[in-house]
Amino acid sequence: MNKMVSLILGLSFLTAGLKAHPVSYKGAVSVMSMNQANMSDQWIHYSLTPRFSVGVRSIRLTEGSQDSWSHLSQFGLLVKRWNYDNFQANIYTFGGIGAHTYQDRNGFAALGGAKADIESRKYLFSQTYEALLQSKAKDFHRYTTRAGIAPYIADYDQLHTWLMVEYQFKPGYQRQHDVLPLLRFFYKNVLWEVGSSIKGEWLANFMVHF
Amino acid sequence: MKLLKSLFVTFLICLPSLTFAGDLVVTISGMVCAFCAQGIEKKFKTEDSVKEIKVDLDQKKISLKLKDGKQLEDKRIIELVTDSGFNVKKIER
Ligand SMILES: [Cu+2]
């Protein structure tokens, strides 16, 4: 019964919208791959407009030696954007529904969340909340805060470098708190990040826009 | 000789920026990230009338060179920039 309520709540998120930087320019295909020891998150999204995108997403959550997998259809919505001379700020929402597998059992999965970010050429700050509700495994909530600074200001066609630190709070999970210093690089339409938790676990993210 | 050579190389490197006199310059707000701005370049490159585009993040401007005899209306420029997720501040011809 509890799971039903959770699912309904999850579905109601959908009416509110979808995920973080999942909306790009009109006609863009965005591929994102975010990988950590205890979680991986893969996205393919297509932006129908600069405000709305649709796609698919796969999430692996590892707790102890157990993996749970969720595969979802997802959409992203840019709720509000502020374009100024020296900075840009955004609010996104996202949501999805799909299936999940845990210990050979199959169930339903739903997710929803929101992201706010602000960036200039030198500084970046973002805050994300997302909930993944799984009918055959425990629910997952994650709060992510990220701050970044660019050590040099790169030109359009140069390699861009960012020093960042991410904090993740996952209540109820073994690794409730994670602090992840990381390096972001991007060149033209390809972005990659490498980092590690302060406990020494790796992190590798990759993103490309077509 | 070595000096001459390096001067020549410098000249060659600078050549594209010296010769790039755009037919029109568009000032764009919100263009702070090269990864996002790449959408603008892509949009304009696929536009039939555009021969060349140069993005300048410092000035928040794009310079466009048009193909001979081709026009690009303000309305279309605004549409392309908006589709990329940004706003047009000024168009100079
Ligand atoms: Cu960006």
pLDDT per position as a tens digit, A65-110 = 999 999 999 999 999 999 999 999 999 999 999 999 999 999 999 9
Range(s) of the domain holding residue A82: 2-209
In chain A, how many domains are there?
1
Closest CA in chain B for residue A185 = B35
Token representation of residue A156: 């359009």
Burial class (CB within 10 angstroms; exposed 0-12, middle 13-18, buried 19+) of A193? buried
Chain A residues with beta carbon closer than 8 angstroms to that of B86: 83
Would you state the torsion angle of the CA atoms of residues A70, A113, A206, A198, taken in this order, to the nearest 10 degrees? -90
Q: What percent of chain B has pLDDT over 90?
A: 70
How far is Cα A146 from Cα A127, in angstroms, rounded to an integer? 6
pLDDT given for residue B12 in this prediction: 56
- Interface A:B, Cβ pairs < 8 A: 72
Whether residue A15 is predicted with pLDDT greater than 50 in this model: the reply is: no
Closest CA in chain B for residue A155 = B57
How far is Cα A55 from Cα A68, in angstroms, rounded to an integer? 20
User: Given B29, B33, B57, which is nearest A84 (Cβ)?
Assistant: B29
- Among the listed ranges A13-17, A118-122, A162-166, A186-190, which one has the minimum average pLDDT value? A13-17
Whether residue B32 is predicted with pLDDT greater than 60 in this model: the reply is: yes
Whether residue B14 is predicted with pLDDT greater than 60 in this model: the reply is: no
Closest CA in chain A for residue B34 = A156
Whether residue A20 is predicted with pLDDT greater than 80 in this model: the reply is: no
Task: Please report, for the domain that includes residue A24, its CATH number.
Answer: 2.40.160
Whether residue A22 is predicted with pLDDT greater than 90 in this model: the reply is: no
Whether residue A56 is predicted with pLDDT greater than 50 in this model: the reply is: yes
Q: Mean of the pLDDT values across residues B27-52? A: 94
User: Given B29, B56, B82, which is nearest A85 (Cβ)?
Assistant: B29
Q: CB–CB of B29 and A160 under 8 A? A: no
Residue with token string 């205890």: A38
Q: CB–CB of A186 and B35 under 8 A? A: yes
CB atoms within 10 A of CB A125: 14
Burial class (CB within 10 angstroms; exposed 0-12, middle 13-18, buried 19+) of A152? exposed
Whether residue A9 is predicted with pLDDT greater than 50 in this model: the reply is: no
